[in-house]
Amino acid sequence: MNIIACIKVVPEEQDIVVLPSQELSFDKAQWKIGQYDLNALEAGKQLAKETGGTMKVLTLGGDALSKTKIRKDILSRGADDLNVVITDKDLSDSLITAKAISAALKEMGECDLMIFGTGSSDLYAQQVGNQVGTLLDVPVVNEVNVISAQDGSIKVERVLESDVEVLELPLPAVVSVTAEINMPAIPGMRDIMSAGKKPVNELTVDLSSLAQTTEVVSDLAPVQKDRKLQIVKGDTEEMVDALLQFLNN
Amino acid sequence: MSYNNIFVIADTEMSLKELASGAAKLSSKSSTIIFDSSLKSLASSFAVENVYLYESDDSVMIEDYAKMIAEVVQVQNADLVLVSNSVRGKLLAGKLGVYLDTCVVSGISSLEEKTSQRMVYGGAAFRSENLTGGVTVVTSGAGVFELIEPNASEAASVKVISEKPESKIKKIQNQPKQEVVSNIAIAKKVVDMGRGFKEEKDVEMCRELATLLGADLGCSRPVAENNGWLPKAVYIGVTGIILKPELVVAICTSGQVQHMVGINQAKTIVAINKDENAPIFSSCDFGMVGDVYEILPMLIEKLK
């Protein structure tokens, strides 16, 4: 089975600094593979291995994608090659991202299965996979927790709020996988060494005509509520009595 | 009123109540789409123009109605589509966004006028967005809109659509999960079980405390996902449930950002943790530094 894992490179959350204005600063942020996209890569790697197929990776984003370090990191996780679209386009509207990815996928040629993570770990709209599948007019489902390859189709288990659905999707298809579908393997020395030799293709996709229907006003850290900060320690019974008194007031 | 005509798409009774309440707040005109005939009378008891019942059966995935629904939304000139933030709701919303060629704003925390707010960067920030499309698709989970009582003077008419949607996907089986549906997102009081507990039977201690306080029991992500001690439906935090209750009692939670965004809109936070330096002690109202295995049994005893 020929697979394309679609992933996003995102700023490391721990490096995001909240400024006194409540705005966020990304100046010190390292870039990493989105947390949930690691599951997509792992799922693609396993399925490619099982079926004797291939896994390509597609990613789209800004200048951060020019760095060798992040490219190698992606390629050390089972990918045969990496396809990159570098753009300064604002990708805050998932439909714009989905259209751009669909265009890039067409450039890459045919494949059987496109795998996404449950959501990007920065914006987490959980929509790009759904929308890519719809744009390409192929079967698409989200929250897939098990994938098994069949002849010309896949059987998946999809986790809903109160039940688990077993579905059969003819290929080509698009799935978004859960964060629990697998435990992403940490790349070994050999994976890291061979990553440097794998091809990286820079794709050019014309995104100029894409217009978004939402406009970001601000990203502001939530204002901390003033808390009473009444902290007690020491004797258990005294603490419990103090709590009960606190709750009764 | 912010919108001229809203379409609500509800896949459960709870989402119907929530979204219909939201629609009533945002517009004087709205319609409701349901897929379950048992929700018919509830849907039509809200003051809505029309109720559309897409009569599905077990072989149909409601997400496949997206194209048919998009046509209705266009014909009726709706300017907002409010969809439940469930797994099905999100897929349906994504498809609608494509068919209507507009943005989907997922998992909002608020919607006022034409500005939405939602959490981004793992809870580090709330993003405000102006929704500039002719129509916008929004998914909204529990607790976003305040519930109102159904207020129709006469029940709205129900249009039944029996045509089945096209689908390439074959449904083979449905296995119910052994999980209780939880209303924790709208609970007034919540006991929040953190990852610092030692064993599964500690859940009972937390549940007993919750019962005595009249609270619902929730947990942090690892307790549900790694330990499997509580259903995933009750984990609190950026990718789970965001609470706005009167009281949260957070026990053995360290206070990581991803978890705190789920509880820090609570009016009052009580924290119990043995680590004096746990970040939770800098964002609680009442904190107890001590051994939970001594504190909880005594607290439970005294509450009895």
Using a CB-CB cut-off of 8 Å, the residues of chain A touching B84 are none
Q: Residue A84 above 80 pLDDT?
A: yes
Average pLDDT of B99-114? Answer: 95
Mutation target to probe the B interface, by most B beta carbons within 10 A, among A137, A156, A162, A168 is A162
8 Å CB contact between B14 and B145: no
Given A134, A212, A225, which is nearest B94 (Cβ)? A134
A164 touches B177 (CB < 8 A): yes
- Measured distance CA(B179)–CA(A140) in Å, rounded: 26
Residues in chain A within 8 Å Cβ distance of B269: 227
- State how far residue A235 is from chain B, nearest Cα, in angstroms: 9
Residue entry with tokens 């990852």 = B195
Beta-sheet pairing, A54-61 with B157-161: unpaired
The pLDDT score that the predictor gives to residue B239 is 80
Q: Do A229 and B282 touch (CB under 8 A)?
A: yes
The per-residue DSSP string of A124-139 comes to ----HHHHHHHHTTS-
Give the pLDDT of residue B240: 84
Flag the least confident range among A166-175, B129-138, B145-154.
B145-154
Asked if the model's pLDDT at residue B123 lies above 90, the reply is no
Which residues of chain A does B175 touch, with a Cβ-Cβ cutoff of 8 Å? 163-166
Give the pLDDT of residue B179.
Answer: 60
Nearest to B90 among A11, A130, A134 (CB): A130
Task: Quick: pLDDT tens for A214-247.
Answer: 999 999 998 878 899 999 999 999 999 999 999 9
ipTM of the complex: 0.94
Segment A22-30 mean pLDDT: 94
- The Cα-based distances of B298 to B189, B199, B220, B293 in angstroms read 20, 19, 23, 9
Is B284 in Cβ contact with A227 (below 8 Å)? yes
Predicted confidence (pLDDT) per residue in B157-205, tens digit? 899 999 999 999 999 998 887 666 678 888 999 999 999 999 999 999 9
Q: C-alpha distances in angstroms, A89 versus A29, B19, B224? A: 20, 33, 38
Q: Do B103 and A216 touch (CB under 8 A)?
A: no
Q: What is the mean pLDDT of chain B?
A: 93
How much is the pLDDT for B181?
63
Q: For residue A162, give the nearest of B124, B176, B269 by CB distance.
A: B176
Of B136, B225, B269, nearest to A180 by CB-CB distance is B225
Task: For domain B6-161, give its CATH number from 3.20.20.370, 3.40.50.280, 3.40.50.620, 2.60.40.10.
Answer: 3.40.50.620
> What residue type is A155 in one-letter code?
K
What's the confidence (pLDDT) of residue B178?
67
Q: B85 touching A, CB under 8 A?
A: no
pLDDT at B180: 60
CB contact under 8 A, B107 and A124: yes
Residue B247: its chain A contacts at CB < 8 A? 247
Distances (CA, A) of B287 to A62, A233, B190: 44, 8, 16
- Considering CB atoms only, which of A130, A242, A246 is closest to B94? A130
Assess B124–A contact: CB distance below 8 Å, yes or no. Answer: yes
A155 SS3 class = strand
Mean pLDDT in residue range B279-286: 94
Mean pLDDT of B23-40: 95
Residues 262-281 (B) with a CB less than 8 A from some CB of A: 264-265, 269-270, 276, 281
Could you tell me the two tokens for B168? 């390439």
For residue B191, the model assigns a pLDDT of 96
CB contact under 8 A, B302 and A155: no
Is the pLDDT at A176 greater than 70, yes or no?
A: yes
**Interface contact B242, partner A, CB < 8 A:** no
Q: How many CB atoms lie within 10 A of CB A247?
A: 14
pLDDT digits (tens, 9 = 90+) for A46-71: 999 999 999 999 999 999 999 999 99
A134 and B99 within 8 Å at the Cβ level: the answer is: yes
- Digit-coded pLDDT (tens) for B265-274: 899 999 999 9
Residues of B in contact with A122 (CB under 8 A): 120-122
Give the tokens for residue B40: 């018919």
Q: Does B27 touch chain A (CB under 8 A)?
A: no
CA distance B155 to chain A (A): 30
pLDDT of residue B82: 98
Environment class of B204 (CB within 10 Å of its CB; exposed 0-12, middle 13-18, buried 19+): exposed
Structure tokens at B133: 């499309």
Alpha carbon B280 to chain centroid, angstroms = 24
Crossing angle for the helix pair B292-303 and B202-213, to the nearest 10 degrees = 40
> What is the 8-class DSSP label of residue A40?
H
- CA-nearest of A40, A26, A5, A7 to A221 is A26
For the cut 90, the answer to whether the pLDDT of residue B115 exceeds it is: yes
Among the listed residues B232, B233, B260, the one whose alpha carbon sits nearest the alpha carbon of residue B248: B260
pLDDT score at B110? 94
Report the chain B residue with the minimal C-alpha distance to residue A226: B283
CB–CB contact A214 B133 (8 Å): yes
Nearest CA in chain A to B189: A247
Q: Which pLDDT does position B59 carry in this prediction? A: 87
The model's pTM: 0.90
Does CATH number 3.40.50.1220 belong to domain B184-303? yes
Whether A170 has its CB under 8 Å from any CB of chain B: the answer is yes
C-alpha distances out from residue A222 to A23, A225, B265, Å: 10, 9, 10
Task: Decide: A24 and A17 in contact? Cβ < 8 Å.
Answer: yes
B301–chain A nearest CA distance, Å: 10
Band (pLDDT 50/70/90 cuts) for residue B249 is very high
Chain A contact for B181 (CB, 8 A cutoff): yes
What residues contact A248, with CB distance under 8 A and at least 6 apart? none
* Confidence at residue A195, expressed as pLDDT on a 0 to 100 scale: 96
Strand, coil or helix: what is B135? coil
Helices marked H in A52-154: 68-75, 94-108, 128-135
Closest CA to B29 of B84, B85, B77, B68: B77
User: Are B224 and B197 a contacting pair, CB within 8 Å?
Assistant: no
Task: Give me B107's structure tokens.
Answer: 């998992």
Establish whether domains B6-161 and B184-303 are of one fold. Answer: yes
Chain B within 8 Å of A226 (Cβ-Cβ)? no
pLDDT the model gives residue A36: 96
Given this model, what pLDDT does residue B267 score? Answer: 94
pLDDT reported for residue B209:
95
**Residue B294: its chain A contacts at CB < 8 A?**
236
Q: How far apart are CA B35 and CA B40, in angstroms?
A: 9
Choose among A213, A217, A239: nearest Cβ to B288.
A239
For residue A112, what pLDDT is reported? 98
Cβ contacts of B130 within 8 Å, gap of 6 or more: A214, A215, A217, B114, B115
Q: Which of A123, A139, A231 sits opposite B168 (nearest CB)?
A: A139
Query: Which DSSP helix (H) or strand (E) runs through B194?
Result: none
Sketch the domain layout of chain B as residue ranges: 6-161, 184-303
What is the average pLDDT across A207-211? 90
Q: How sure is the predictor about B154, in pLDDT bands with cuts at 50, 70 and 90?
A: confident
CATH number of the A2-217 domain: 3.40.50.620
First-to-last alpha carbon distance for chain B, in angstroms, is 49
ω before B150 within 30° of 0 (cis)? no
pLDDT value of position B12? 93
**Neighbouring-strand partners of residue B173:** A166
Q: Which residue has the tokens 């003819």?
A: A170
The pair of structure tokens assigned to B135 is 């129509």
